[in-house]
Amino acid sequence: MARSRERNFNSLPRRKAGFIEPMECALVSKLPAGPDWSYEVKFDGYRAIGVKTSRESIIYSRNGKNFNKRYPHLAEALGDLPADTVVDGEVVALDDSGRPDFHALQHFKASASRIHYFVFDLLVLRERDLTNMPLIKRRELMKSVLKLPSEGIRVSEQFDIAAENMLSAVRNQGLEGVIAKRKNSLYEAGKRTGSWAKMRLSRGQEFVVGGFIPGPHGIDSIIVGYYRGKDLLYVARVRNGFVPSTRRVVYDKLKPLAIDRCPFVNLPETGRARWGEILDAEKMKKCVWVRQELVAVVEFLEWTEGDRLRHSKFISLRDDKDPREVVKEA
């Protein structure tokens, strides 16, 4: 039996170990259910591809940036992988209770001992391409082959339970959401096919930062939106969620990106707004516009009928997302 498995493994196509664009999850408002699906916790962290060649170990961001300098202990821990192997996972910081803490992740230098790499997929093993193998088989192989003595790298758990039970457990733990995956799904790099889905339990998403209004400690608020085709659409001026230290950090990141023109196609606003103040031509005189290079995570109560955010709150900046990929989520 073992010889048969070895022959099957050796018949797989060869593939050099290197960066593979992550497979994407489709955002859903209702979690897919049934025996064809398994579930994972949706971590609040940075998606990352781990690569171990015969010469080096590299941890890459979702858009192919080398994360080794940022997380050297994780890069070192990847050395425990077999040579010529590629894994997919999430870099996550854990708080004292073991829950993901995105704020701690952003302050990685002070929180390195809290930061872990949760591996949830095996894409290449000893130079054999596994991406055309069903997920359930990739997971079985991953659990049987990967020996990870370092606390820095952990295998993310997968649950074969009812969708409602998974949602209930995640809600009770105060976690961000759930990932659902078809057990027979292939790994389709860079694609969002619906074979993988994500459901957020908190209302929020990433938005492109297109400007800010100066204020105490650097900024009063950030001006955010999303892309519809080539157009950047304004949705909110976000003032809540900042403390003096984050105001300074965000200001220092935005100031070098200043430009002369407003990047939002639907500004200035006119008329009267039901929720909050409108950003009209007069108020726009206070704005500093910036190149669209930064993405902010924003929580909010709801979308208004006018396609604006009600009761928005700044959570964090992200540097692992391509602003051009930020669109309105369901």
Average pLDDT of every residue of the chain: 91
Q: Which residue has the higher pLDDT, 204 or 179?
A: 179
Fold of 2-200: D-amino Acid Aminotransferase; Chain A, domain 1 (3.30.470)
- List the chain domain ranges: 2-200, 204-325
Q: Sorting pLDDT into bands at 50, 70 and 90, what band is 1? A: very low
pLDDT digits (tens, 9 = 90+) for 290-309: 999 999 999 887 788 889 99
pLDDT at 136 over 50: yes
Give the strand pairing for 46-52 and 57-61: antiparallel
pTM check: above 0.85: no
Q: Which residue has the higher pLDDT, 264 or 104?
A: 264
pLDDT at 175 over 90: no
pLDDT above 90 covers a percentage of the chain that reads 69
E strands present in the chain: 26-27, 37-42, 46-52, 57-61, 85-93, 115-125, 128-129, 153-155, 177-182, 196-200, 204-215, 218-228, 231-238, 258-259, 288-290, 295-299, 302-303, 309-310, 313-318
pLDDT above 70 covers a percentage of the chain that reads 95
pLDDT at 183 over 50: yes
Torsions phi, psi for 266 (to 5 deg): -110, 25
Mean pLDDT of 164-192: 93
User: Beta partners for 197?
Assistant: 26, 180
CATH class of 204-325: mainly beta
pLDDT at 2 over 60: no
Q: Are 74 and 81 in contact (CB under 8 A)?
A: no
Listed residue (212, 204, 203, 267) closest to 239, CA to CA? 212
Q: Are 211 and 291 in contact (CB under 8 A)?
A: no
pLDDT digits (tens, 9 = 90+) for 76-128: 999 999 999 999 999 999 988 888 887 778 766 657 888 999 999 999 999 99
Mean pLDDT of 71-77: 94
